[in-house]
Amino acid sequence: MLLFAGEPHHDGSALYVSDLAPSLGSRVTVRLRAPRAAGVTAVHVRTVEDGEPRFTEAAVDELRTSSDVTGYGPDDVWWRAEITAVNPVTRYRFLLLTARGQAWLTAGGLLAHDVTDDTDFRLVAHDAPPAWMADAIVYQIFPDRFGRSGASRPLPGWALPRDWDRDPVIPSGPGTSQQFYGGDLDGVVRHLDHVQALGVDTVYLTPIFPARSNHRYDAAAFDRIDPLLGGEEALRRLADAVHERGMRLLGDITTNHCGDTHPWFTAAVSDVNAPEREMFFFDPDTGDYEAWFGVKTLPKLNWRSDLVRSRVPAVLRRWLGPLDGWRVDVANMTGRRGADDLTHEVAALLRRELGPGVALVAEHSHDATGDLDRGGWHGTMNYGGFTRPVWTWLRGSGLDLATFLGVPGGVPARDGTAALATVRTFAARMSWRSLVHSWQLLDSHDTPRIRTVTGSRALHLVALGLQATLPGTPMVFAGSEFGLTGVNGEHARTPMPWDRPADQDLATLAAYRELFGLRRAEPALRHGGLRWLHADADHLVFARESEAETLLVSARRAPGAPLPLPGPAVPVYNSSDTNAIPGDGPALRIWRLAR
Distance CA 224, CA 360 (A): 21
Residue 451, pLDDT score: 98
* Domains 26-124 and 530-593 alike in fold: yes
Asked whether residue 69 carries a pLDDT value surpassing 70, the answer given is no
Rg (CA), the chain: 25
Beta bridge partners of 536: 539
Over residues 25-51, mean pLDDT: 96
Check if the beta carbon of residue 545 is closer than 8 Å to that of residue 73: no
Chain centroid offset of residue 197 CA: 21
Domain map (residue ranges) of the chain: 26-124, 131-260+305-525, 261-300, 530-593
pTM score above 0.85? yes
Distance CA 252, CA 248 (A): 14
**Helix, coil or strand: residue 426:** helix
* CATH class entry, domain 26-124: mainly beta
pLDDT band at 70 (very low <50, low <70, confident <90, very high): very low
**Helix, coil or strand: residue 516:** helix
Question: pLDDT digit string (tens) for 388-397?
Answer: 999 999 999 9
- Name the amino acid, one letter, at 457: R
CATH number of 530-593, picked from 1.10.3470, 1.10.150, 2.60.40, 3.30.230: 2.60.40
Distance CA 276, CA 257 (A): 14
- 151: alpha, beta or left, given left = phi > 0 and alpha = psi -120 to 50? beta
Question: pLDDT digit string (tens) for 509-565?
Answer: 999 999 999 999 999 999 999 999 999 999 999 999 999 999 999 999 999 999 999
- Give CATH superfamily name and number for 131-260+305-525: Glycosidases (3.20.20.80)
Question: pLDDT digit string (tens) for 329-374?
Answer: 999 999 999 999 999 999 999 999 999 999 999 999 999 999 999 9
State the chain's maximal CA–CA distance in angstroms.
Answer: 79
Asked whether residue 450 carries a pLDDT value surpassing 80, the answer given is yes
Residue 73, pLDDT score: 64
Distance CA 568, CA 572 (A): 13
- 56: alpha, beta or left, given left = phi > 0 and alpha = psi -120 to 50? beta
**How, if at all, do strands 325-329 and 359-362 pair?**
parallel
Chain centroid offset of residue 143 CA: 21
